[in-house]
Amino acid sequence: DSGVTQTPKHLITATGQRVTLRCSPRSGDLSVYWYQQSLDQGLQFLIQYYNGEERAKGNILERFSAQQFPDLHSELNLSSLELGDSALYFCASSVDLLAGSFTDTQYFGPGTRLTVL
């Protein structure tokens, strides 16, 4: 158990809908990362938040957005869903005590499996 929790575990929805995925980082971790794992693209970095602020963006679609709240939990919002958005979405967290630290291990949650029908 990494200490990172994600809810829900599974989500089934229809095209055009909007969903919210939730992540609670390990206690004390300031950085949260979101990754998407799909058969087509493999594991891809989406976005990173550090202590409530967006730090880095990867291949995140405009239909997707995220935020990190004062209690450091994070939500990933996916809207106007398409079939191709079906994937496993991982959240990871790291301590990142020094802004820009590269040595911190990222601890991954179990993921949320999204199925768009």
Partner 1 sequence: AQSVTQPDIHITVSEGASLELRCNYSYGATPYLFWYVQSPGQGLQLLLKYFSGDTLVQGIKGFEAEFKRSQSSFNLRKPSVHWSDAAEYFCAVGGRGSTLGRLYFGRGTQLTVWP
- 3 lies in the binding site for partner 1 (CB under 8 A): no
- DSSP string across 17-81: --EEEEEEPPTT--EEEEEEEETTTEEEEEEEEETTEEEEE-S--TTEEEEE-TTS-EEEEE-S-
Q: Which residues contact 16 (CB under 8 A, 6 or more apart)?
A: 80, 81
Contact between 42 and partner 1 per CB under 8 A: yes
> Which residue from 8, 16, 58, 84 is in contact with partner 1, where contact means CB under 8 A?
58
Residue 49 or residue 78: which is nearer to partner 1 going by CB?
49
Residue 27 interacts with partner 1 (CB under 8 A)?
A: no
108 contributes a contact to partner 1 by CB under 8 A: yes
Q: Is residue 110 involved in binding partner 1 (CB under 8 A)?
A: yes
Size of the site for partner 1 (CB under 8 A): 27
The amino acid at residue 49 is: Y
Q: Is residue 68 at the binding interface for partner 1, with CB under 8 A as the rule?
A: no
Residues with Cβ within 8 Å of residue 98, at least 6 apart in sequence: none
Q: What is the DSSP letter of 4?
A: -
Residues engaged in binding partner 1 (CB under 8 A): 2, 4, 31, 33, 35, 42-45, 48, 55-56, 58, 90, 92, 94, 96, 100, 102-103, 105-111
